[in-house]
């Protein structure tokens, strides 16, 4: 289907009329806390600081459902059907369907959960409250502005623009506002679950709305990497801290007396750091992913005497957890084997670790997604990008992970594109630039019209 220049101008004008509405919608969404409860929260800290006064449920549970209950009336005005779909009633997904009986179909997806906010007082741009959505100097500040409530607002208003311009889609369009993306639960409580459970929610293709910059504003993301999560636990032997010298100096008892788990764990840390440097020399032959992308960021480290937080004992416990990032074309098992080999080399070089091997727990994997540059969906989005951005299509990888993979696994080729710069996501004073909204809304609207046809 080709959208005529006249009709394109009409829907683009409707998008322009709705930009302020999209900003207002984003402000309303930010004001509803929806931190993903899959993260481990310091409940005592939240209680002591009074943060829990902002939530209906303990810490964060219920926020995703509250956001989607707020959005449901908006989608009801745009869609022929709306459905609240939930494996957990406090963590609901929202689905809106236009033309449910039509054959050709497309999904527009965005997620409504966010990452934790951290210490509220460090949100200087929002007056110490990360949910106090603040509009200033062409930006909207607040948790979720970029990831992913800004794209969700643009997606919703882009669809509204089609109707405002006087057009009716011929094919079936579904809007999926989903839960659990931030912790990979899209597979178990989000689209990877409900599309599998309810085949009526499966469509021919999916556009995932996420902030796709950098390097290009509203860049067309043809792939994302894969990531495995790994936790390593090292056992030591505790003794009075004053005996440290007798555990590390020649001529004393050594490991018969005590062993610092931190010392042993740090050996593994350094070895993985060196492996990470080697990976910096690898390249993506497609040129989509920035050079040096594969990495092993250590997310957290804990080393202490078990159950004791005073430095008067030699630490007998050490844990570190990390995300092991790989290019889209790399094999998960081969990458894991390489990491395991490096860990084992450290273990074999150390007497204590040989006798007391660490626990190496690969406990989660989020696969990559990939769509061909010549796929029909890519061509549709590229056409819309060129019209909205007034420049040739800009292709890239998306460097985090996303729900695109779950649609792909269920037979729905997916692509990712959206407003905002991902470098502000997961950060204090998260924001999105309002001037990214209009082209994103135009891309979503024009893509839907081209893919599904209209009258």
* Tally of domains within the chain: 2
pLDDT at 118: 84
- For residues 39 and 169, membership in a common domain is answered with yes
- For residues 389 and 332, membership in a common domain is answered with no
Residue-number span of the structural domain to which 236 is assigned: 226-366
- For residues 320 and 440, membership in a common domain is answered with no
Tens digit of pLDDT at every position of the chain (455 positions): 689 999 999 999 999 999 999 999 999 999 999 999 887 766 666 666 666 665 555 556 789 999 999 999 999 999 999 999 999 999 999 999 999 999 999 999 999 999 988 888 899 999 999 999 999 999 999 999 999 999 999 999 999 999 999 999 999 999 999 999 999 999 999 999 999 999 999 999 999 999 999 999 999 999 999 999 999 999 999 999 999 999 999 999 999 999 999 999 999 999 999 999 999 999 999 999 999 999 999 999 999 998 888 899 999 999 999 999 999 999 999 999 999 999 999 999 999 999 999 999 999 999 999 999 999 999 999 999 999 999 999 999 998 999 999 999 999 999 999 999 999 999 999 999 999 999 999 999 999 999 999 99
Which of 340, 366, 392 is at the close of a domain?
A: 366
Specify the pTM: 0.92
pLDDT at 119: 84
- For residues 327 and 362, membership in a common domain is answered with yes
- For residues 392 and 289, membership in a common domain is answered with no
- For residues 34 and 97, membership in a common domain is answered with yes
What CATH number corresponds to the domain at position 103? 3.40.630.10
- For residues 219 and 236, membership in a common domain is answered with no
Write the secondary structure of 45-94 as one string of H (helix), E (strand) and C (coil): HHHHHCHHHHCCCCCCCCHHHHHHHHHHHHHHHHCCEEEEECCCCCCCEE
187: CB partners within 8 A, 6+ apart: 193, 406
**What are the percentages of helix, strand and coil residues in the chain, rounded to 5?**
40, 20, 40
pLDDT at 140: 98
- What are the backbone angles phi and psi of residue 257, rounded to the nearest 5°? -95, -50
- For residues 206 and 253, membership in a common domain is answered with no
How far apart CA 203 and CA 187 sit, in angstroms, is: 17
Strands in 348-416 per DSSP E: 359-366, 369-370, 395-397, 414-416
Which of 320, 350, 366 is at the close of a domain?
A: 366
- For residues 16 and 153, membership in a common domain is answered with yes
The secondary element (H helix, E strand) that includes residue 21 is helix 19-30
- For residues 289 and 324, membership in a common domain is answered with yes
Which of 366, 397, 422 is at the close of a domain?
A: 366
- For residues 187 and 287, membership in a common domain is answered with no
- For residues 175 and 293, membership in a common domain is answered with no
From 219, 324, 325, 327, select the one nearest 283 (Cα to Cα).
327
What CATH number corresponds to the domain at position 264? 3.30.70.360
């Amino acid at each position: 289907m080709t959208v005529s220049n006249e009709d394109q101008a009409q829907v683009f004008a409707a998008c322009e009329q709705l930009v302020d509405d999209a900003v207002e919608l984003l402000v309303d969404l930010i004001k509803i806390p929806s931190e993903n409860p899959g993260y481990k929260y310091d409940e005592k800290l939240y209680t002591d600081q009074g943060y829990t006064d902002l939530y209906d449920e303990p810490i964060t549970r219920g926020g995703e459902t509250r956001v989607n209950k707020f959005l449901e009336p908006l989608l009801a005005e745009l869609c022929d059907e709306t459905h609240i779909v939930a494996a957990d009633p406090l963590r609901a997904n929202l689905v809106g369907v236009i033309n449910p009986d039509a054959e050709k179909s497309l999904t527009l997806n965005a997620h409504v959960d966010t990452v934790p906010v951290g210490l509220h007082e460090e949100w200087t741009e929002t007056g110490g409250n990360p949910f106090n959505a603040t509009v200033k100097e062409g930006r909207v500040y607040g948790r979720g502005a970029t990831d992913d409530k800004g794209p969700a607002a643009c997606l919703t208003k882009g669809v509204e623009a089609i109707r405002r311009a006087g057009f009716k889609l011929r094919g079936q369009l579904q809007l999926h506002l989903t839960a659990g993306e931030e912790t990979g639960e899209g597979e178990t409580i989000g689209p990877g679950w409900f599309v599998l459970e309810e085949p009526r929610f499966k469509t021919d293709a999916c556009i995932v709305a996420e902030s796709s910059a950098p390097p290009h504003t509203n860049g067309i993301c043809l792939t994302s990497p894969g990531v495995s999560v790994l936790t390593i636990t090292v056992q030591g032997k505790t003794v009075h801290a004053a005996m440290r010298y007798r555990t590390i100096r020649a001529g004393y008892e050594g490991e018969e007396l005590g062993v610092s788990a931190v010392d042993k764990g740090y050996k593994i840390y350094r070895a993985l750091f060196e492996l990470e440097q080697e990976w910096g020399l690898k390249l993506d032959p497609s040129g989509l992913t920035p050079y040096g992308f594969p990495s092993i960021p250590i997310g957290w480290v804990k080393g202490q005497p078990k159950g004791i937080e005073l430095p008067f004992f030699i630490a007998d416990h050490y844990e570190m957890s990390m995300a092991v990032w790989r290019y889209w074309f790399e094999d998960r098992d081969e990458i894991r084997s390489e990491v395991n080999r490096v860990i084992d080399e450290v273990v074999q070089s150390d007497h204590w670790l040989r006798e007391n091997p660490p626990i190496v727990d690969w406990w989660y994997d989020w696969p990559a997604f990939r769509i061909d540059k010549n796929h029909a969906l890519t061509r549709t989005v590229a056409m819309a990008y060129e019209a909205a951005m007034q420049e040739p299509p800009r292709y890239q990888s998306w460097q985090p992970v996303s729900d695109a993979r779950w649609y792909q696994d269920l037979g729905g080729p997916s692509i990712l594109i959206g407003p905002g710069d991902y470098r502000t996501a997961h950060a204090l004073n998260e924001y999105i630039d309002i001037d990214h909204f209009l082209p994103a809304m135009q891309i979503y609207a024009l893509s839907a019209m081209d893919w599904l046809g209209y009258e």
